Homo-oligomer: A and B are copies of this chain.
Amino acid sequence: MQERLWDIISAVRAQAPLVHNITNYVVMNNTANALLAAGASPVMAHAHPEVQDMVSIASALVINIGTLDEYWVESMGLATQQAHALQKPWVLDPVGAGATPYRNQVLEELLTYKPTVIRGNASEIMALVKTSSKTKGVDSTHQSQEALTAGQELSAATGAVVCISGATDLIIHQNQYHSLSNGHPLMAKVTGMGCTASALTGACCAVQPEDPFTATLAAMALMGVTGEVAAEQANGPGTLQLHFLDGLHQLSKEAFLKRVKLGESS
């Protein structure tokens, strides 16, 4: 499996897929830089008169609702509709799901265009489960079991690969799942690391559209391994960011295979 993940990471470098991002203002620069450093080609475009044209020429679409407003929500609707129609992979990053009724309503609409992958943290995924299943969601008190159950429900309800990122990442698709335990706590002190994970997931899906489960696992392994290498070199969240970008550009197959920690799966 590790070798397959590396093959996907290598394919991004070799093919430089065009990844179309409709993302939030806070992280646009990070997202573009991470995609470039990983070998992909980023484009950001949200104007209604061109957003569907841009989806048509891209290999994957990434939607992040961090700083949404009415205009951007309409852009996201147009783009996801087009990605769905053209059967291009698209990734949903439900930033702040559950924080406000508006976010929940927007997410409900976006789910109708069938995201290929949904990536969020545990509380965002749990909020989405409530949105998509209209129930109270999960009741388990065991936290990681709770997250797994929520992810499985969301995957069943939407058909999407669900990725729950945290100290341990869970990648779930219907009955199968994989856990990953790379990464470093300092990554949580840099804004947009989750958004970067979603963007890299888009890049991996672009080169492996027929297997988004493995593509998502590859992206999360790339994030986690690169993040932990960077954290070892960093003095804090400022230097972490740099070493992270340098690492995406430089990571070798050897370092990747040696470090990646795949955990339990089914």
Counting CB contacts under 8 A, is A88 at the interface? no
B36:A237 contact, CB within 8 angstroms: yes
Counting CB contacts under 8 A, is A157 at the interface? no
Least distance between A139 CB and chain B CB atoms (Å): 24
Least distance between A52 CB and chain B CB atoms (Å): 9
A101:B36 contact, CB within 8 angstroms: no
Kindly state the separation between the CA atoms of A158 and B203 in the bound complex, as whole angstroms. 38
Instruction: Return chain B residues, CB-CB under 8 Å to A135.
Output: none
Instruction: Return chain B residues, CB-CB under 8 Å to A132.
Output: none
B54:A99 contact, CB within 8 angstroms: yes
Kindly state the separation between the CA atoms of A241 and B27 in the bound complex, as whole angstroms. 16
Taking CB atoms and an 8 Å cut-off, the chain A residues in 84-115 that contact chain B are 96, 99-103
Instruction: Return chain B residues, CB-CB under 8 Å to A234.
Output: 246
Q: Which of A62-70, A122-130, A216-224, A256-264 contacts B (4 or more CB under 8 A)?
A: A62-70
Least distance between A118 CB and chain B CB atoms (Å): 20
Selected from B45, B236, B238, the residue in CB contact (under 8 A) with A67 is B45
A99:B57 contact, CB within 8 angstroms: yes
Kindly state the separation between the CA atoms of A100 and B43 in the bound complex, as whole angstroms. 12
Q: Which of A159-167, A175-183, A189-197 contacts B (4 or more CB under 8 A)?
A: A189-197
26 interchain pairs, CB-CB under 8 A = A25-B44, A26-B29, A26-B44, A27-B29, A29-B29, A29-B191, A33-B190, A33-B238, A36-B188, A37-B237, A45-B67, A47-B69, A47-B102, A50-B99, A50-B102, A53-B100, A57-B99, A234-B246, A235-B250, A236-B245, A238-B244, A238-B245, A239-B242, A239-B246, A241-B242, A241-B245
